[in-house]
């Protein structure tokens, strides 16, 4: 058994699970800005729930990509070069999200805020779809030749597994975002998001259920099927807790559903890290795609020291900002004149902004 490559396969799977749970809710909140809010004040409330944590959540994506590059360079090279086009759109979506969050409060007109809300919402949608597509082809395959290179043109990745995976992560993010907003807010937004979980989750989660079942019927084993059972129980509990108004437990159960479902996917395909749809003999596995033992040993030591610190910081930041927010906590919009313009006198009126998020 390849011990170190197996350890790093599990570690990368856990990094993706952490990313999908944490970034899943703030991507979902971004998408809910497009259609689940009734006023600018509600959109500011939603934005404030993810304001302290959204950028920290993205660390998990960067870490998952970096760990794949270091531990399985052939997996990284084949996947990222084959998905160059969709990953560019993911990057643009993440850039739009970040810029929208930072610049939304820098202008004073409804049009300014409306366009940045759209940038945040569609950026979240594109990022979620692209990440889902990349993960789906990692489990269901790409047209790879014997060298691990993609056969076909720039759109060879655009297959039904990629679309299914994209819809799966978008649907999950919407439900996770609604569960998070129900947990973090009070008033109308809380009740509306709770109804979204109880009424829309059975439909929104259909793509991720279909993805997991397809992989299980193709590659599943006893362990992966046991994880599927855990996922089913967790999602039912999440729905029941949401109906009972126990938003914290509903969000936690939804996170368990994602963790068990993703675990079932990675467990089923192990030891393959990137299947070839042209010939199973050309699959990339933990053996033929991994780095040497020295590299993996150094990575393991560094991770054993650094990972607890990252987890402790993330837990601390979530605890500090755990209080519910309501529209009463959101101050009225007011003009902000940058200090550099206050010093300049008369130009300040033209450059006035409105307080933020």
What was the pLDDT predicted at 315? 85
Instruction: Find how far residue 181's CA is from the centre of its chain.
Output: 16
The structure tokens 């990222």 sit at 80
What was the pLDDT predicted at 352? 44
Smallest CA-to-CA distance from 218 within 136, 140, 134, 133 is with: 140
Q: Give the number of other Cβ atoms within 10 Å of residue 176's Cβ.
A: 30
Q: State the Cα–Cα distance between residues 319 and 339, nearest whole angstrom.
A: 34
Six-digit token string for 134? 């990349």
What was the pLDDT predicted at 81? 87
What was the pLDDT predicted at 237? 95
- The number of residues in the chain equals 357
Q: State the Cα–Cα distance between residues 263 and 223, nearest whole angstrom.
A: 9
What was the pLDDT predicted at 337? 67
Indicate the Cα dihedral angle 314, 315, 316, 320, nearest 10°.
Answer: 100
Cβ distance 63 to 15 under 8 Å?
A: yes
Smallest CA-to-CA distance from 235 within 204, 212, 258, 267 is with: 258
- Angle value at C-alpha 268, between 233 and 202, nearest 5 degrees: 35
Six-digit token string for 51? 């304001």
- First-to-final CA distance of the chain: 51
The number of CA neighbours under 13 Å toward the Cβ of 230 is 16
Q: SS in 3 state form for the chain?
A: CCHHHHHHHHHHHHHHHHHHHHHHHHHHHHHHHHHCCCCHHHHHHHHHHHCCCHHHHCHHHHHHHHHHHHHCHHHHHHHHHHCHHHHHHHHHHHHHHHHHHHHHHHCCCHHHHHHHHHHHHHHHHHHHHHHHHHHHHHHHCECECCCCCECCCCCCCCCHHHHHHHHHHHHHHHHHHHHHHHHHECCHHHHHHHHHHHHHHHHHCHHHHHHHHHHHHHHCCHHHHHHHHHHHHHHHHHHHHHHCCCHHHHHHHHHHHHHHHHHHHHHHHCCEEECECCCHHHCEECCCCCCCHHHHHHHHHHHHHHHHHHHHHHHHHHHHCCCCECHHHCCCCCEECCHHHHCCCHHHHHHCEECCC
What was the pLDDT predicted at 353? 45
Smallest CA-to-CA distance from 224 within 212, 234, 236 is with: 212
Q: What is the pTM of this model?
A: 0.88
From first to last of its 357 residues, the chain has per-residue pLDDT tens of 688 999 999 999 999 998 999 888 989 999 999 988 888 888 888 998 988 888 888 888 888 889 999 999 999 999 888 888 889 999 999 999 999 988 888 877 888 888 999 999 999 999 999 999 999 988 998 888 888 888 887 788 888 999 999 999 999 999 999 999 999 898 889 999 999 999 999 999 999 999 999 999 999 899 999 999 999 999 999 999 999 989 999 999 999 999 999 999 999 999 999 999 898 889 999 988 889 889 999 999 988 888 888 888 888 888 888 788 877 777 776 666 666 666 665 554 444 444 455
Q: State the Cα–Cα distance between residues 158 and 130, nearest whole angstrom.
A: 11
């Amino acid at each position: 058994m390849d011990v170190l490559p197996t350890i790093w396969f599990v570690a990368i799977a856990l990094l993706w699970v952490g990313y999908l749970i944490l970034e899943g809710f703030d991507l979902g909140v971004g998408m809910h800005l497009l259609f689940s809010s009734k006023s600018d004040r509600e959109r500011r409330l939603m934005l404030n729930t993810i304001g302290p944590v959204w950028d920290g959540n993205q660390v998990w994506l960067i870490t998952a990509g970096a760990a794949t590059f270091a531990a399985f360079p052939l997996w990284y090279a084949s996947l990222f070069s084959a998905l160059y086009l969709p990953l560019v759109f993911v990057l643009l979506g993440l850039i739009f999200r970040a810029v929208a969050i930072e610049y939304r409060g820098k202008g004073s007109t409804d049009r300014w805020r409306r366009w940045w809300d759209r940038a945040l919402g569609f950026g979240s949608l594109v990022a979620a779809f692209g990440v889902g597509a990349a993960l789906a082809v990692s489990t269901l395959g790409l047209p790879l030749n014997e060298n691990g290179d993609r056969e076909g043109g720039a759109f060879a990745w655009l297959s039904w597994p990629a679309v299914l995976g994209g819809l799966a992560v978008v649907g999950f993010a919407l439900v996770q975002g609604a569960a998070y907003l129900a947990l973090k807010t009070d008033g109308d937004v809380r009740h509306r998001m709770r109804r979204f979980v109880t009424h829309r989750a059975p439909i929104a989660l259909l793509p991720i259920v279909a993805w997991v079942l397809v992989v299980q019927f193709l590659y599943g084993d006893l362990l992966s099927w046991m994880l599927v059972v855990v996922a089913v129980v967790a999602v039912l509990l999440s729905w029941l807790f949401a109906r009972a108004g126990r938003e914290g437990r509903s969000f936690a159960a939804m996170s368990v559903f994602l963790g068990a479902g993703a675990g079932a996917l990675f467990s089923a395909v192990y030891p393959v890290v990137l299947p070839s749809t042209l010939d199973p003999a050309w699959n990339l596995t933990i053996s033929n795609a991994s780095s040497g033992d020295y590299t993996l040993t150094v990575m393991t030591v560094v991770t054993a020291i650094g990972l607890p610190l990252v987890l402790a910081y993330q837990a601390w930041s979530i605890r500090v900002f755990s209080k519910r927010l309501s529209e009463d906590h959101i101050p009225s919009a007011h003009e902000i004149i940058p200090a550099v313009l206050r010093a300049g006198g008369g130009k300040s009126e033209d450059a006035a902004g409105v307080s933020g998020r």
